[in-house]
Amino acid sequence: MNKFGLIMILTVLCFANLPQNIDYVDGESTNKTPLPPMADRVLISPIGDIRAILGPQGKNIVVSEGGEAIAVIYGDPTTDPDNYMEIKIAYSLDNGATWITYGPFSPEIRRVYPGVDGSPDFDAYYGELYFSWQESPFGYATGDHKVMIEEGIPSASSPSIPASLPSAYGTDICPWFTCVAVDPDDPYDIISTSLSYLNNGNENCYAWVSEDGGYTWTDTIFVYNGHDPISGSSGAGHCRRGPGDYAFMTFHDTIDVGGTAVTVPHIIESTDGGFTWGTKETLPVPYVTPASQFWWTELDCEVINGEPWAVHMDLTSDSMWLFHGTGSPGSWTWEVFNIRQLGTTSQWINDTLYESQPSQYSSLSYDPLNNIILVSYKANYYVGDTLTWATHNGAHIGGVYTTDNGATWTICDVLSTPNTGEIAWADWSGTEVAHHIVDGWTYGCWANEAELNLYFERAEIQSFPPVGIEETSSNSIISYNFSVLPTITSNRCCASFTMPSPGNITLKLFDATGRLIKTAYQGQLEKGAQQFDINTLNLTNGAYFLVLKTESGSDARKFIKF
């Protein structure tokens, strides 16, 4: 064989073994192939407890840039009634249709609160996918913060031996709610965080930094103290990386409201890759009451186009606040959106009623190809008529999205499988949606507490109601003059409305999460003024909604039990 022929053969062999990458040109993928809709939810694995994924401080699902590979970390069930989980990971190489699980990577433990993050091309380049979790056995007297490197790639998995992060504070550290965040410009530059909580905990959040892909780590770096006056409103935060060594965390800390310590959203920033952190800043929540409660399950954040976005939910009101910072680190100007209001609709189109109402478990995701910013959440969706529900009837993953950086928002259709994939309202089912949206498709998972199963959902972002349906009904719920007084009450309130003609109505009471408390009235009413006394004496303090549903539509009025 001549020298030229040998060189050509070697060249072909070298290029054949290079990792495959997807090239994106002018906002369009050069190999874009429409994805088929999923026929149904896909079971990833049984889980040991709802907290197998619950805890948004660490995102439990990550998807590669082109969507070919998905990684999930979770708590697999054990037979020990006290320590009923152990850490496993799962990979899909076919857009979530099938899953391969690996592990366990931990002993049998009680709490795991895991996280996963990686480079956009973790499916093509070895050692660019990272996992973190806590190892807290029953009793919570001890704890450990573990990290693990996928030294291979999902199609040729080779996880490293899990390593404990160093602790300069000794027994003062009892790590909870771990997070791992990868620099988008350098896949070997990583921050991992956790909160020192419960036994031996000092309520400080700490960070560790690795610049060699997770093989060596700094000692403990103090980030902030997140005081927790209300059990469950943890000061743990979610960390995300941006360009130029920028990182920020969103978390909960306390302020004084009328002499009461109230937990509210905060952020803190680093401009040197997590080695030092600035001063924590209170986010501008439009209204806070002594009863406000921003729970530990209700937060997420992301760096989008170099700017911080954070979403937090107040469980005692109708508010899910989205914060967007413009400007520069340390001097952001914040614009604030109420996502629960943006995501609520009730409208008749022809003979079909379209309703949606956000509940909780918010996630932030971004699609760089189409400039889509999505706030997803567990939500209630209805599509049908007043007699029979045609498609959506219950809780799903839903959301609102913008393609113009928040100037306008659109409610999106359900992001989980209708009917067979709905999330029951009767249990505490947690949802997670990956930070990365793949050309208009979301990748999410949710844990069903009643079944103790972890499911995967992939869905295309579409508007709700669908574009192109024209409204022809001339009826309006406004003609009923629906009101609820007083709007702040301790014992009772009165729902008033006027029937323009005889007809059937339903008057229902819901709490702030969308759970039905009771049906105040259902049946036929005559034409004229109507009043219903609502006894609130036995309700717990918080926000409630009275929903009036008539033959022409529905409307809701909020009141506060205080």
Find all residues with CB under 8 Å of 546, minimum gap 6, and list them. Answer: 484, 495, 507, 508, 509, 510, 520, 534, 556, 557, 559
| pLDDT classification of 157: cutoffs 50, 70, 90 | very high
Q: Are residues 52 and 120 in the same domain?
A: yes
On the question of a cis peptide bond just before residue 137, with omega within 30 degrees of 0, the verdict is: no
Would you state the structure tokens that stand for residue 212, as one six-digit string? 């060699």
- CA separation for the pair 181, 193 (Å, rounded): 9
Instruction: Give the tens place of pLDDT for each residue, 334-363.
Output: 999 999 989 999 888 877 888 898 988 999
Find all residues with CB under 8 Å of 387, minimum gap 6, and list them. Answer: none
Would you state the structure tokens that stand for residue 64, as one six-digit string? 């590669």
Q: Are residues 425 and 481 in the same domain?
A: no
Q: How much is the CA Rg of the chain, to the nearest whole Å?
A: 25
Domain at 173, CATH number: 2.120.10.10
Task: Give the model's pLDDT for residue 233.
Answer: 57
Q: Are residues 121 and 152 in the same domain?
A: yes
Q: Are residues 303 and 372 in the same domain?
A: no
Percent of the chain with pLDDT over 90: 56
3-state DSSP assignment of residue 341: helix
Q: Who has greater pLDDT, 197 or 86?
A: 86
Would you state the structure tokens that stand for residue 457, as one six-digit string? 């959902």
User: 36 in a domain, yes or no?
Assistant: no
- CA separation for the pair 452, 67 (Å, rounded): 27
Q: Are residues 312 and 428 in the same domain?
A: no
Instruction: Give the tens place of pLDDT for each residue, 27-55.
Output: 333 334 456 666 578 999 999 998 999 88
- CA separation for the pair 458, 402 (Å, rounded): 19
User: 108 in a domain, yes or no?
Assistant: yes
pLDDT greater than 80 at residue 185: yes
pLDDT greater than 80 at residue 301: yes
Pick the most confident of 66-80, 191-205, 249-263, 437-451.
Answer: 66-80
Task: Give the model's pLDDT for residue 397.
Answer: 92
Q: Are residues 218 and 238 in the same domain?
A: no
Q: Who has greater pLDDT, 330 or 481?
A: 330
pLDDT greater than 70 at residue 549: yes
In sequence order, what are the beta bridge partners of 555?
548
- Domain termination site, one of 464, 496, 525: 464
Question: If you search the block for the tokens 């009680």, which residue do you land on?
Answer: 110
Task: Give the model's pLDDT for residue 477.
Answer: 38
Task: Give the model's pLDDT for residue 81.
Answer: 96
- Domain termination site, one of 337, 356, 386: 337
What is the full DSSP assignment across 410-466?
EEEPPSS-TTTTPBPTTS--EEEE-SB-BTTEEEEEEEETTTTEEEEEEEE--BSSP
Q: Are residues 287 and 365 in the same domain?
A: no
Q: Are residues 333 and 427 in the same domain?
A: no
Find all residues with CB under 8 Å of 272, minimum gap 6, and list them. Answer: 245
What is the full DSSP assignment across 476-518?
-GGGG--EEE-SEESSEEEEEEEESSSEEEEEEEEETTS-EEE
Q: Quick one: CA torsion of 225, 431, 108, 105, rounded to 10 degrees?
A: -90
- Domain termination site, one of 407, 429, 464: 464
Q: Are residues 172 and 150 in the same domain?
A: yes
Instruction: Give the tens place of pLDDT for each residue, 101-110.
Output: 999 999 999 9
Q: Are residues 187 and 299 in the same domain?
A: no
Percent of the chain with pLDDT over 70: 85
Q: Who has greater pLDDT, 46 or 540?
A: 46
Q: What is the mean pLDDT of residues 275-300?
A: 91
Question: If you search the block for the tokens 């989008």, which residue do you land on?
Answer: 304
Of 163-172, 196-205, 439-448, 528-537, the range with the lowest mean pLDDT is 163-172
Q: Are residues 357 and 417 in the same domain?
A: yes
For residue 306, how many other CB atoms are within 10 A of its CB?
A: 11
Please enumerate, as own/partner, the contacts of 138-141 that have beta carbons within 8 Å and a separation of 24 or more. Answer: 138/82, 138/83, 138/110, 139/110, 139/199, 140/110, 140/111, 140/174, 140/198, 140/199, 141/199, 141/200
In sequence order, what are the beta bridge partners of 388?
none
In sequence order, what are the beta bridge partners of 56?
none
Task: Give the model's pLDDT for residue 461.
Answer: 95
For residue 103, how many other CB atoms are within 10 A of its CB?
A: 15
